Amino acid sequence: MSQKQWIAGINAVSAALEHDAEHVREVLIEAGAKNPRLAEIENRAQRLDIAVRKVATQALDGVVGNLRHQGVVARYAAAKTYGENDLEGLIEAAEGRALLLVLDGVQDPHNLGACLRSAAAAGATAVVIPKDKSVQVNATVRKTSAGAADSIPVVPVTNLARTMRDLQKQGVWLYGLAGEAEASLYALDLRGNVALVLGGESDGLRRLTRENCDQLVRIPMPGGSEVESLNVSVAAGVTLFEAVRQRVAG
């Protein structure tokens, strides 16, 4: 069953029209707006035979609430939502080269959106998030991800520690990022079935999450103590593309 969503903002709507137009049902554009990028969106949607309506700003505000829409929103029917029972099939389909991003309690929707964008760009198999104590995919996440939220499987799970143990049974190695770890990310072999596990913005990895990792590793930072800990979305990008580098090279 498809799931109807509203996505808002010039970049998010443009990305949806470019990468997944078949699931865009209609586009609403602010009447009288002079932004040339809105005109581009209107023309592209019309070329794709997607309905375009000019509406008052108040109508856009009513659709997306406090989210900044920049004069355009789109009604989007996501093709599929994923559950934890789908993980096994996704890993099997990756044929020994699954690349998972596991996020333990990310609270900021902008951070989750940025993580999804990096995961999609890296060709990740799926992103796993807990159903509780974590932001879920909402309108802000969709906008920040610039379409990635609907191009990569996002799998919310009830019990993250149990899911991690299930992944290990499927032959997935779990590497958790922790600033105090002794081992370096760059010393790992990330070419097989791998899950990169990152903690939330304030508390990092929870105890059970740490205990279920095969190994804790750190991102070497030559700047030392003068450099603040990396934002979770930046850390996700660094770790994912180290895996990509190894897979392309190997």
Could you write out the DSSP letters of every residue in 57-68? HHHHHHHHTTS-
Rounded CA gap, 139 and 164, in Å?
28
For residue 178, the one-letter residue type is A
Tell me which H or E stretch contains 126. strand 126-130
For residue 245, the one-letter residue type is R
**pLDDT tens by residue, the chain, 250 residues:** 344 578 889 998 998 898 778 788 899 999 999 999 999 999 999 999 999 999 999 999 888 877 789 999 998 876 567 889 999 999 999 999 999 999 998 999 999 999 999 999 999 999 999 999 898 887 678 778 877 877 899 999 999 999 999 999 999 999 999 988 999 999 999 999 999 999 988 778 999 999 999 999 999 887 654 334 678 999 999 999 999 999 997 6
**Biggest CA-to-CA distance, the chain:** 58
Look up residue 132 and give its two tokens: 């509780």
- Bridge pairing between strands 99-104 and 154-157: unpaired
Tokens 């970049």 correspond to what residue? 11
Output the pLDDT for position 1.
34
Rounded CA gap, 128 and 161, in Å?
11
> Is 199 annotated as ligand-binding?
yes
Q: What are the structural domains of the chain?
A: 3-78 (3.30.1330.30), 84-249 (3.40.1280.10)
Buried-exposed string 68-93: b where 16+ CB fall within 10 A, e elsewhere: ebbbbbbbbebeeebebeebeeebee
